[in-house]
Structure 1
């Protein structure tokens, strides 16, 4: 019977966990030779067992089949998307999350909620945000953008004398949204929130930049003066890590009525570095901010933070029941702050890694990532096979194949990257930048070093010679 299997596993929990520990040690010991990404083989599952196999048998089945087809995304040469590799401290914290299995909806039944508030406080220090900002953990940058934009929507409605959290969107005029180079998750959030993907007014960017032209934005706001707007700013675009002038945007808020949402998913970590912190000057003028933890903070998926100046508005949107309205606004339960009622103890891995490595540890991660991006950039600049598509401003290198002055198609770039993935030494993702297909190499993993860049370059050159 299934219950018997559970009882056996209860007695064998030490053996089960030792097996997992040994599997983890073997994985880390062989990480350098593990393929960065895998073209997995299809498995043919047998379906749901009647009585169950017991955990040890399932572990053996998993490690002999499925685990061999997982990517090495935690490793130093996974440069796709912007993926950090979990630090040892964050892994320890994450394992304990599953063991303690806390549902952090409130601060009343354990110290988990207090630890989350403590972690948010440390992160606020790391990003040099004033204490007026409150913060909450969510599952990722998309959810953080959704939480910020939901508050922005509520604020706009208030300017029209409407409480859409109670009355709905039905009597609300079109919401005016402006941005220069919004991330795809902004469009997704707008679709979920009923504001519409097509309603983003794209303001021209500076020449050969992904940074909004402040003068053009000023003209747009002048044309809509007297109407509440939402402005979505970037602190680090995904293609070229370009930054809007956040300081200038803050000054515009003195003249015009708009909610400033800053998408700083990974670019916000520039605040950690004395060399690059000026890039986020003015981020403290935002109304809401998105920052991802499973990127440059290097904690396991899924983890991000949303920060806001407007806790009252946040509670109006996400309160879980009307009875809550009588409680203290200063210390709301987490269940009233995000779409999630049930919440994993996401703060613990972040708490572990922040306490373990501190401000200087994260300064080193950021500075090293940028140095490695510049090292690859230099190699591309000296090459006849590859060409930069944009300056490398921080930790992402945006480049393309250079083949007899011919622009390659997106499919040709994708084919090249598929073969590069088969090589196993590095994984990168395709992109479109200013209408041209290209390649992104995002450095954000604490493990990556200069020797990895040599390995990456060797793989790029080898595959290019076989294709061009």
Structure 2
């Protein structure tokens, strides 16, 4: 009788293990408010245990599953905890979790339509619906990415391709001068890495002064572009931000679009987390002007609450995507740029990540996500109203669920306040800089966060 493979067990073993894992996760997640948000693992002991796993002796899978879950319970900043108020890494929606189970079970390779027509069509449908909701022109499209950095990288590649007919063959040597891209000083600095990776160099990035309130100053942007042009540089792309990482501020999208049009530049809007406001009829006007963009980034793994690694790149210029990523190989079954992702996006091996947002949107609808977004904003208003009355300064004037706070004078510093809260394990907040001022950054990221959690955070902030 053939020995049973541990890698490919029979149906009975799979069924038993599935039941074991489901119960293990049910008993371990979601975390309750009495459990620590901060890591509590003894890392020295963990590393000793980890080093003992040398892969020379096979171990029981049930034991390994339990070992892994137990260490993850105590060895992470618990981003699914209702009192995690940190960077925008939210607790995922349940439909998105289900999607990962399905995608893992079928494991389609969706870089080519002929291998996974249903999966590709689902992703394309979601992208087109999101582009339509954002107000982009009819016929707009795009694709899912591993995150905002890949989407923004795609924008730079498209902008360079659109800027000069010879870029595809000659690269930066096609340009008469240094290509330039422009972003706010408060933007996500993935732009610097992207400039390095695309070969235009880190000095290609121009960080534009803000207006003092966290938004890119349009007048300063125009002045820097004029200076660069006069000095022989080649302006290529303006990257506006719709929801800055630190403070949830939105650059003047119409003004940036006007400047891009005047100088013939590609206008990209990085709406990685703020883009979810398109779901809300009440708050979508905060993104007024996004419909004029040449391309848009939205991360579904932020305010749309999917599991990690679900970015989106949207554009009305499908033909530029096709020019940027075209390739022909003998071993691929087709080369249809209308439907095959490997010839209109960066990735080749592609996981079926769009199912996460498809199931969540189909299950909750746009109104369900509007409720989710608006609830987070209401909770943030509860926090800022009470802290303002207690003498705290609200440094940012954002319509999103994020606050940059300065403690009352004469008490703890920002750093002391944050260190105390994080060390307590009762909540997780962070220190950041907003307009060169250290602030306590609070962000509502979890759909299970309650008003009681907000009140508990207020007591912690006030050290009561």
Distance 1:202 1:64 in 2: 44
Please list, as runs of the form range in 1=range in 2, the aligned pairs for 1:36-55 lying within 5 A after superposition: 36-42=37-43, 43=46, 44=48, 45=50, 46-55=52-61
Q: 1:318 is matched with which residue: 314, 325, 329? A: 325
Distance 2:426 2:390 in 1: 20
Partners of 2:76 and 2:424 in 1: how far apart? 15
Report the Cα distance in structure 1 between the residues aligned to 2:285 and 2:16, rounded to whole angstroms: 51
Evaluate the alpha carbon distance shift between residue 30 and residue 107 of structure 1 in structure 2; reply closer, same or farther with a 3 A threshold. Answer: same
Structure 1 residue aligned with 2:173, among 156, 170, 173?
A: 170
Distance 1:397 1:61, change over 3 A: same
Specify the alignment match of 2:108 in structure 1: 102
The 5-angstrom pairing of residues 49-448 of structure 1 reads 49-110=55-116, 111-158=118-165, 162-163=166-167, 165-172=168-175, 173-181=177-185, 182-206=187-211, 208-223=212-227, 224=229, 227-321=234-328, 328-329=336-337, 331-384=338-391, 386-404=392-410, 408=413, 413=415, 416-448=417-449
Q: CA deviation at 1:8?
A: 4.8
Aligned 8 A contact 1:136 1:305 in 2:
yes
The equivalent of 2:20 in structure 1 is 19
* Cα distance change of structure 1 residues 427 and 29 upon mapping to structure 2, 3 Å threshold: closer
Q: Which moved more, 1:350-359 or 1:450-459?
A: 450-459
Cα distance in 2, alignment partners of residues 354 and 108 from structure 1: 26
Instruction: Report the RMSD for the aligned CA atoms in angstroms.
Output: 2.5
Whole-angstrom CA distance in 2 between matches of 1:2 and 1:104: 34
> Structure 1 residue 33: deviation in Å?
3.0
Q: In the alignment, is the contact (CA less than 8 A) between 2:40 and 2:74 conserved in 1? A: no
Q: C-alpha distance in 2, partners of 1:141/1:392?
A: 21
Gaps of 5+ in 1: none
In the TM superposition, what is the alpha-carbon distance from 1:356 to its structure 2 partner?
0.5
Deviation of 1:191 (Å) = 1.9
Is the CA contact (8 Å cut-off) linking 2:160 and 2:236 kept in structure 1?
A: no
Aligned to 2:453, what secondary structure does the other structure show?
helix
> SS at the partner of 2:82?
coil
- Structure 2 CA distance, aligned partners of 1:175 and 1:429? 35
* Contact in 1 for aligned 2:272/2:297 (Cα 8 Å): yes
| Separation in 1, partners of 2:70, 2:80 | 20
Asked whether the equivalents of residues 144 and 311 of structure 2 are also in contact (C-alpha less than 8 Å), the reply is yes
Distance 1:426 1:106 in 2: 44
**TM-score, L = length of structure 1:** 0.89
1:60 and 1:446 map into 2 onto residues whose CA distance is 27
1:434-460 CA distances to partner (integer Å, 9 max, x unpaired)?
A: 222222111132222212101211222
Q: 1:201 to 1:442 in 2, by over 3 A?
A: same
Q: What is the SS of the residue equivalent to 1:108?
A: helix
Q: Distance in 2 between matches of 1:370 and 1:376?
A: 10
Structure 2 segments unaligned to the other structure (5+ residues): none
Q: Aligned partners of 2:267, 2:261: CA distance in 1, in Å?
A: 12
Q: 1:316 to 1:234 in 2, by over 3 A?
A: same
